Amino acid sequence: MKLKSQKIGRNDPCPCGSGLKYKRCCIGKAPAPQENLEQEYKRKYQIQLKKTRDIEGIRKAGQLVMETLDLAASIIRPGLDTEAINTLVHDHTIQNHAIPAPLNYRGFPKSVCVSINEVICHGIPGNNRLADGDIVNIDVTSILDGYYADASKTFFVGSPGPEAQKIVQVARQSLKEGIAVVKPGNTVGDIGYAIQQYAEGQGCSVVRDFVGHGVGFEFHEQPQIPHFGKKGQGVPLVPGMVFTIEPMINLGGTALRILSDKWTAVTKDGSLSAQFEQTLLVTHSGCESLTPY
């Protein structure tokens, strides 16, 4: 059956919803242009969807990030001072015509974050030395040709104990649980829900104070990606969104404190904390990691 078009009369209510008659409102005016998805997400959520050329630029930055992380992993050993990790990351980034994003970002003094044991994030490299049995997170963000990519891993130093093995395994799987639900039609809340359900089910806790974030044109963009939440809540995921998922998982409680350097976040109860992070692109069929491992 063919649907008949209904003509709007001059004295009918205007279809724009103004409440005026059609003849006193929009008659004779050109219809307002339809807002596309890119415009809608920028207006409603301050999210900049990435085009093909942008994605390729972020992917290249991501390749450098992963190369840098692999180099850092290769020198981890008991007795190494964390300044050596900073030097390696800084030099390799510069040699590849890129910029280490953390350096001087809001006053951060180094080119990489190195977080040991109870340090949740934003550890500042220096004279502190790695010891056998430690866990250490290395968080690398590179700017290449104006594009940002961001990733981190937590590594064992020497021979890990059972608590270290548990928290690293749970943090690694928490990231995988979050990635598994990234696809169009799902929401930011679905990501947090998946991570929270898994981590808490393992007897661990999810840090609330720090979250994932949009990335690509800037270090931190919209949307924020909490690693806890409720199904179906938050921004709907659509192709072209690029953001990090970076759950920080504690063996003890969620409470934290910031040290006197105003950067280093540590667990308040002194329990171990681990983190894994990737930069992700929402595709038409699911997602792609732009910092794959």
* pLDDT tens column, 47-98: 999 999 999 999 999 999 999 999 999 999 999 999 999 999 999 999 999 9
Outline where 143-268 has alpha helix (H).
162-179, 188-201
Question: pTM of the entire structure?
Answer: 0.88
Q: Which residues contact 283 (CB under 8 A, 6 or more apart)?
A: 239
The pair of three-digit structure tokens given for residue 85, joined into one six-digit string: 């990790």
> What does DSSP say about strands 212-214 and 119-121: parallel, antiparallel, or unpaired?
unpaired
Helix-then-strand count for the chain, H and E:
5, 15
Low-confidence ranges of the chain (pLDDT < 50): 1-5
> What does DSSP say about strands 147-156 and 135-144: parallel, antiparallel, or unpaired?
antiparallel
Secondary structure (3-state) at 99: strand
Rounded to whole angstroms, how far apart are CA atoms 264 and 259?
A: 5
